[in-house]
Chain A
Amino acid sequence: MKLHSIVLPLTLPLVLLLAATGCHKSNIPVTKLNKPAPTGTADNTPATPPISPAQPIAPPTTPPVATPVPDQNPGHFATSDINLDNYTQDRSALAAYTVHFKFDSAVVETSEQANLSSVAQALSDANLKLLIEGHCDERGTEEYNRSLGERRALALREALAKLNIDPMRVKTLSFGKDKPVDPGHDEAAWAKNRRGEFVLLHPKTPAQ
């Protein structure tokens, strides 16, 4: 009796399994469960780069994350509507004060304060406005970098606001990774490309 009660629960599922799978030899590919993805593939596909080992299966739902304060929108100033057609651009005036950024960062480093002060100084003529162009190195997708370049320009605008430059005088323009100053593919080139450039805007006189 006892043996029967052990053997039957063990063998019944097995029998069911065998009945279900049948004994047909089949060339149909059957996917096996829980097989880790291979790092190399056959035939004509290029080998995939090494990946982390497959994680244990996580619970299906992730609970909503209440956005904590550090991730809140630091952009306090709505962008300003400056029509570049009404201004002459002077790229050389502030070329020496280009600010550089760390990788994947829009934080204005304290070491850049001198550059910012010089830019603020140049804007002491209240007629002048400013264009800040944000740029990235190539190590990000195009759309991510377009957003990052804009964040860099906005961060510089906010830093200038702390130096009493009215944000409404400042236009931001992101070029993502489309306009590197150095086409190289090494850290030296990338460091040069992660930048915000300042362009002085002179209002055009009606005759221009």
Chain B
Amino acid sequence: MKSTIETNLRPIQYGRVHSRTKCAAGQFRCALQILGAPLAGPVSRALGRGLLAILLAISILNVGRAQPAITIVSTGDFAQKPIPVALQGYTGETLQVLQFDLYVQGFSFVGAESAQYLINGSNTGTVTGSLTDKFAKSVLFSRTYNGASERRQAHALADDIVAAIRNTKPIGGSKIAYKSQSPQGPGEIYIADFDGWNAQKVTADGAIVAKPAWVPGRLALYYTSYARSNPDIYYHNLGTGQRRIIAGYSGLNTSAAVSPDGSKVAMILSKSGSPNVWICDASGADLKRLTKGIEDSSPCWSPNGEWICFAAKINSRRSLAKVRASGGEVERLATTGAPNPTEPDWSPDGKWIAFTSQAGGEFNVCVLAADGGMAPVVLVSGQNPSWSANSRTLVYNHGPAGHQTLAVVDVFTRQTKDCHRAAGSNSEPGWSR
């Protein structure tokens, strides 16, 4: 069942930001940074010593016992202290962007005396920034940004700061898609910068919508809409505005999740008589049923595309489960301590599964080690977590029912900030990767 619906969306425009680097003192080190070499210096040396000590401690404890390989993860990983930095010379929107972006990637803001890194610059006319490692007494980079908007320049500077210190994937230019719902039920799909700014409405149907999911690397979404008075899954090209239904079977079609290479979609269909996980190709063809459980919901993909993790009922207990995308036995994931787990999302680095735990009327965003071996950790009150490309920042929704707000959280420090809101109840965010 396919129909082509043209919409009048203007194509998404992105300004491009250009940066120029000045290599100041410490030219060799600066050049290394430009080339993207990993940071050498006191940070990694101290971390290396700490890690060696931990490894030795484990090997000492395990002498004489046959052990399966132990991943070094623990609940302590989620109580890390943020890296203290000092911001100097910034005002207004640039200051707000820098504070937001750095906070939700695990940095805190202190005076120059207590900071580990100094970020100096200005935003009069154009954004400039230099990053100094206080202990090494060296300037890691010094850059000027121009093009696009002040916000976008500030996001680019924040990206460079995080890249120089942590070497995680940049998120400053990334987008979120989400739904905004009126109290009566209908709503629309939106996209925005990951901090909620520059929101754009994607649909204008006045229908119930749900669960937007990005096509990796593309300006396209899958989402559920009741525009035809039935929950159907649409593919929507945001560049051209064209969309069509890829799953419009009788019954329920919802919870689309795109494989990491964009070639397949997992979703929940009830066409067999019960909601189960099905897989099709990107256009909706080649449909295959993957599960036969009593109540399956919310599939997500492992980053290598081999596994689907989803919520299920196993042995009369609500659980998270996983099954090979190519088919096979369903395996239960242990989530003891986090009741009624749903809405899993698998981190891009493969290590973690974030999910929603629900008890009484409370929702909590939790994190599980994908390989097991760690009790789930409760991060923050909220639902529907979605990972960014950096595998440490999550977007989720929280707040009173009917008045929800999106927020982002750094899972390792648990620092969280609310996103800029669209009108209505904002929920079910998906982070572009």
A70 contacts B by Cβ under 8 Å = yes
Once the chains are docked, how many angstroms separate the CA of A90 from the CA of B311? 36
B217 contacts A by Cβ under 8 Å = no
Please, which residue of chain A has its CB at the minimum distance from the CB of B336? A55
> Binary interface profile of A, 169-200, with partner B (CB < 8 Å = 1, else 0)?
00111111011000101000000000000000
- With both chains docked as a complex, state the minimum distance between the C-beta of B61 and any C-beta of chain A, in angstroms: 10
Interface residues of A in 11-64 (CB under 8 A from B): 13, 16-17, 20-22, 24, 26-38, 41, 43-46, 48-49, 51-52, 54-55, 57-64
- Given A55-B336, A62-B333, A62-B372, 20 other A-B contacts at CB below 8 A? A17-B57, A37-B78, A44-B103, A49-B381, A58-B372, A61-B371, A64-B330, A65-B329, A68-B315, A76-B273, A77-B273, A104-B340, A143-B210, A143-B255, A146-B210, A147-B254, A147-B270, A147-B275, A151-B274, A174-B231
**Which of B43, B60, B108, B273 contacts A78 (CB under 8 A)?**
B273
Question: Which of A64, A140, A147 has the most C-beta atoms of chain B within 10 angstroms of its own C-beta?
Answer: A147
> Binary interface profile of A, 82-101, with partner B (CB < 8 Å = 1, else 0)?
10100000000000000000
Which residues of A are at the interface with B, using a C-beta cutoff of 8 A? 13, 16-17, 20-22, 24, 26-38, 41, 43-46, 48-49, 51-52, 54-55, 57-68, 70-82, 84, 104, 106, 138-144, 146-148, 150-151, 154, 171-176, 178-179, 183, 185
Nearest first, the 9 closest Cβ-Cβ pairs linking A and B are: A75-B273, A75-B274, A79-B251, A35-B76, A29-B81, A147-B297, A79-B250, A52-B337, A150-B252
**Which of A16, A48, A68 contacts B414 (CB under 8 A)?**
A48
Do residues B378 and A49 form an inter-chain contact, with CB atoms below 8 A? yes
Which residues of B are at the interface with A, using a C-beta cutoff of 8 A? 42-43, 46-47, 49-50, 52-54, 56-57, 60, 68-72, 74-81, 83, 103, 108, 116, 135, 181, 183, 185, 208, 210-211, 224, 229-231, 249-252, 254-255, 268, 270-276, 292-298, 311, 313-316, 329-334, 336-337, 340, 342-343, 356, 358, 360-364, 371-375, 377-381, 383-384, 401-402, 413-416, 427-428
Once the chains are docked, how many angstroms separate the CA of A20 from the CA of B60? 14
Which residues of A lie under 8 Å from residue B103 when comparing CB positions?
44
Please, which residue of chain B has its CB at the minimum distance from the CB of A145? B297
- With both chains docked as a complex, state the minimum distance between the C-beta of A2 and any C-beta of chain B, in angstroms: 20
Once the chains are docked, how many angstroms separate the CA of A119 from the CA of B424? 37
Given contacts A37-B377, A178-B181, contact A59 B68 (CB under 8 A): yes
Once the chains are docked, how many angstroms separate the CA of A26 from the CA of B252? 56
Do residues B373 and A58 form an inter-chain contact, with CB atoms below 8 A? yes
Do residues A55 and B381 form an inter-chain contact, with CB atoms below 8 A? no
Do residues B273 and A60 form an inter-chain contact, with CB atoms below 8 A? no
What is the predominant secondary structure among interface residues of chain A facing chain B? loop
Given contacts A34-B76, A49-B364, A73-B272, contact A148 B415 (CB under 8 A): no
- With both chains docked as a complex, state the minimum distance between the C-beta of A14 and any C-beta of chain B, in angstroms: 9
Do residues A24 and B361 form an inter-chain contact, with CB atoms below 8 A? no
**Which of A26, A84, A141 contacts B384 (CB under 8 A)?**
A141
Do residues A143 and B342 form an inter-chain contact, with CB atoms below 8 A? yes
Do residues B373 and A150 form an inter-chain contact, with CB atoms below 8 A? no
- With both chains docked as a complex, state the minimum distance between the C-beta of B392 and any C-beta of chain A, in angstroms: 13
**Which of A27, A43, A57 contacts B415 (CB under 8 A)?**
A43
16 residue pairs A–B, Cβ–Cβ below 8 Å:
A21-B49, A28-B43, A28-B47, A35-B76, A35-B79, A65-B330, A70-B316, A82-B250, A138-B361, A141-B343, A144-B343, A150-B252, A150-B270, A154-B274, A178-B181, A183-B402
- With both chains docked as a complex, state the minimum distance between the C-beta of A22 and any C-beta of chain B, in angstroms: 5
Please, which residue of chain A has its CB at the minimum distance from the CB of B299? A143
Do residues B56 and A36 form an inter-chain contact, with CB atoms below 8 A? no
- With both chains docked as a complex, state the minimum distance between the C-beta of B17 and any C-beta of chain A, in angstroms: 28
Once the chains are docked, how many angstroms separate the CA of A91 from the CA of B181? 24
Which residues of A lie under 8 Å from residue B74 when comparing CB positions?
31, 33-35
Do residues A142 and B210 form an inter-chain contact, with CB atoms below 8 A? yes
- With both chains docked as a complex, state the minimum distance between the C-beta of B66 and any C-beta of chain A, in angstroms: 13
- With both chains docked as a complex, state the minimum distance between the C-beta of B294 and any C-beta of chain A, in angstroms: 5
Given contacts A71-B315, A147-B275, A154-B273, contact A142 B427 (CB under 8 A): yes
Do residues B371 and A60 form an inter-chain contact, with CB atoms below 8 A? yes
Do residues B293 and A67 form an inter-chain contact, with CB atoms below 8 A? yes
**Which of B57, B294, B342 contacts A144 (CB under 8 A)?**
B342
Do residues B334 and A58 form an inter-chain contact, with CB atoms below 8 A? yes
Do residues B401 and A138 form an inter-chain contact, with CB atoms below 8 A? yes
- With both chains docked as a complex, state the minimum distance between the C-beta of A51 and any C-beta of chain B, in angstroms: 5
- With both chains docked as a complex, state the minimum distance between the C-beta of A33 and any C-beta of chain B, in angstroms: 5
Given contacts A28-B43, A48-B380, contact A16 B330 (CB under 8 A): no
- With both chains docked as a complex, state the minimum distance between the C-beta of A35 and any C-beta of chain B, in angstroms: 4
- With both chains docked as a complex, state the minimum distance between the C-beta of B11 and any C-beta of chain A, in angstroms: 29
Which residues of A lie under 8 Å from residue B295 when comparing CB positions?
106, 147-148, 151
Once the chains are docked, how many angstroms separate the CA of A143 from the CA of B341? 12
Do residues B372 and A17 form an inter-chain contact, with CB atoms below 8 A? no
**Which of B78, B185, B371, B383 contacts A178 (CB under 8 A)?**
B185
Which residues of B lie under 8 Å from residue A80 when comparing CB positions?
250
Which residues of A lie under 8 Å from residue B250 when comparing CB positions?
79-82, 171
Which residues of A lie under 8 Å from residue B46 when comparing CB positions?
24, 26, 28, 30
Which residues of A lie under 8 Å from residue B296 when comparing CB positions?
147
Please, which residue of chain A has its CB at the minimum distance from the CB of B417? A44
Do residues A27 and B116 form an inter-chain contact, with CB atoms below 8 A? yes
Which residues of B lie under 8 Å from residue A54 when comparing CB positions?
75, 337, 375
